[in-house]
Structure 1
Amino acid sequence: NAFEETAESPLGGAGSFLKVDPQVETEMIADVAKWRSSRSEEAVSTALQDLRDAASGEENIMPHTIAAAKAGVTTGE
């Protein structure tokens, strides 16, 4: 390999990873759960199924991704 030297990684060192306060994490989890309980589960299910159908074929998934976001679908879903 001709490239044996590298620049120092910005990911190294003491500040390389964000450590979230456990209380903040607990609050955020509760906020997401509350938010999820207030959205339309039917709209979320429909949007996810439409996105799955588009992704399994040749269809452009962008309109379905936008519709899913508008329905309240989260990245993890």
Structure 2
Amino acid sequence: MNELNKTEQEKLIKGLDEILDLFEKGKFVIKQSDEDCHTAIENYLTKKYGDLGKKIHTGRSRNDQVLVATRLYT
């Protein structure tokens, strides 16, 4: 996948902010059908933005994803 352009970045940041807001309200639930929190985040963004949601992990390793999720949710 290509790198993110400015518009894509803004949409994904908005989506991540929505996820954080939902999580803080107890409304972002990681379902058993989700592999883990990373998949739940990607699924939410993909449902909202289509293929753009799949770009959320562009340029990041699985360890980077864990670090970001840890910072977001702790």
Same fold per superposition (TM over 0.5): no
Considering only CA atoms, is the larger Rg found in Structure 1 or Structure 2? 1
- TM-score (normalizing by structure 1): 0.37
Higher RCO (C-alpha under 8 Å, 6+ residues apart): 2
